[in-house]
Amino acid sequence: MSRDSTEKDTRILRANAAAIADAGEVLRAGGLAAFPTETVYGLGARADDPHAVAALYAAKGRPSFNPLIAHVASLAAAKRLGSFPDAALNLADKFWPGPLTIVVKATSNESVCELARAGLDTVAVRVPSHEVARALLAAVDFAIVAPSANRSGHVSPTTAQHVADDLGGKLDIILDGGPSQGGIESTIVDFSGGTPRLLRSGGIARNEIENFTGPLAAANKDEVSAPGMMASHYAPKAKLRLDASGANASEAYLAFGPIPAAAQDAKKIMNLSSGGNLTEAAANLYAYLRALDASSVEGIAIAPIPGEGLGEAIRDRLARAAAPK
């Protein structure tokens, strides 16, 4: 790909203390720094700087009607951004730091700028648990908005190399903290309305959340602002075939559990989890989709994944990855 004059020199740095301090400086000055979280890598910008946020949308090619998640160091910092009802506080207490994003009414128009909220009167907030993300948040005195650090619509990144492959030349620093352990984005629960709604299934399974909130209402399918509502998302180039009990010779097979005889002819086989473990499958999902896509197969046939626990989020992402573009 040819470099144009607007390209940046992207530095990939091992995420030690000096590199984290550098990334904090880059963000403070309005630049873009990618960092690991326990779910996927995020592309960070300071949340209170509309110019930095505009550059972030441009770097990802993300439509600016799709709002961003503000990352903060603590519940105390989160409370400065929005108004948390008791039920939201209970959930935050239980799952933060961790892969949970909470949507509440925004109480500050500046801390997370209007552009980052896509003009909504709500704000999505999360306290990540990854130690590099925590150190970065501790080094700055603003919230960091961070969508997944992929080209808009593409598969989310779980390594620094994935970020470089998608966005190299478009950001200043990539902090390399090794592969993300969770592998699937945060669960998003919306408390801005009355009853809590599940806007996106993710790294914390629905039943774990419902233990605290009671039954979660579904997201409104017509709402553009609701996350992941765009049908085609998380998409590789190859055509995906879901719930496939086998594969033909022009396809790759992404297995879950024992590999069926009907998949033996596949061009390439990878196994999300040979023991049928959903946590392991979530952690491998995006890296394996990228790897199979890079092996230039026409299609990827994917084994049936059970829908319980983390399987709900895995199936959701696969359905979006398979949707017509």
* Contact positions vs Mg ion (CB under 5 A): 148
Are the beta carbons of 213 and 229 closer than 8 angstroms? Answer: no
Residue 167's binding partner among Mg ion, ligand TXA, none (Cβ under 5 to 8 angstroms by kind) is: none
Residue 158's binding partner among ligand TXA, Mg ion, none (Cβ under 5 to 8 angstroms by kind) is: none
The nearer residue to Mg ion, 39 or 284, going by C-beta atoms, is: 39
The nearer residue to ligand TXA, 152 or 248, going by C-beta atoms, is: 152
In 3D, which of 248, 116, 100, 64 has the Cα closest to residue 182? Answer: 100
- Residue 158 sits in the site that holds ligand TXA (CB under 6 A): no
| The dihedral sign for the CA sequence 277, 283, 285, 287 | negative
CA distance 56 to 170: 9
Residue 67's binding partner among Mg ion, ligand TXA, none (Cβ under 5 to 8 angstroms by kind) is: ligand TXA
CA distance 205 to 88: 16
The nearer residue to ligand TXA, 84 or 253, going by C-beta atoms, is: 84
For residue 300, the one-letter residue type is I
The nearer residue to ligand TXA, 10 or 66, going by C-beta atoms, is: 66
Among 77, 136, 199, 205, binds ligand TXA (CB under 6 A): 199
- Residue 185 sits in the site that holds ligand TXA (CB under 6 A): yes
The nearer residue to Mg ion, 148 or 213, going by C-beta atoms, is: 148
The nearer residue to ligand TXA, 10 or 180, going by C-beta atoms, is: 180
Are the beta carbons of 41 and 173 closer than 8 angstroms? Answer: no
Q: Dihedral (C-alpha) 73, 79, 85, 86: value to the nearest 10 degrees?
A: 60
The nearer residue to Mg ion, 186 or 192, going by C-beta atoms, is: 186
- Residue 316 sits in the site that holds ligand TXA (CB under 6 A): no
CA distance 48 to 148: 19
State both tokens at 48.
Answer: 């209170």
Q: CB of 188: closest distance to ligand TXA in angstroms?
A: 6
CA distance 40 to 203: 10
In 3D, which of 118, 189, 155, 145 has the Cα closest to residue 37? Answer: 145
State both tokens at 273.
Answer: 């989890």
H or E stretch at 293: helix 278-294
Total binding residues for ligand TXA by CB under 6 A? 28
Q: CB of 264: closest distance to ligand TXA in angstroms?
A: 36
Largest Cα separation within the chain, whole Å, is 58
CA distance 15 to 21: 10
Among 13, 75, 120, 217, binds ligand TXA (CB under 6 A): 120
Q: CB of 309: closest distance to ligand TXA in angstroms?
A: 17
Among 124, 137, 160, 300, binds ligand TXA (CB under 6 A): 124
The nearer residue to Mg ion, 29 or 224, going by C-beta atoms, is: 224
Could you give phi then psi for residue 6, rounded to 5 degrees?
A: -85, -5
Tell me, residue by residue from 35 to 74, as one string, x for binding to ligand TXA by CB under 6 A and - for no binding.
--x-xx-x-----------------------xxxx-----
In 3D, which of 9, 18, 20 has the Cα closest to residue 171? Answer: 9
Q: Site residues (CB under 6 A) for ligand TXA?
A: 37, 39-40, 42, 66-69, 99, 101, 103, 117, 120, 122-124, 126, 146-148, 185-186, 188, 199, 225-228
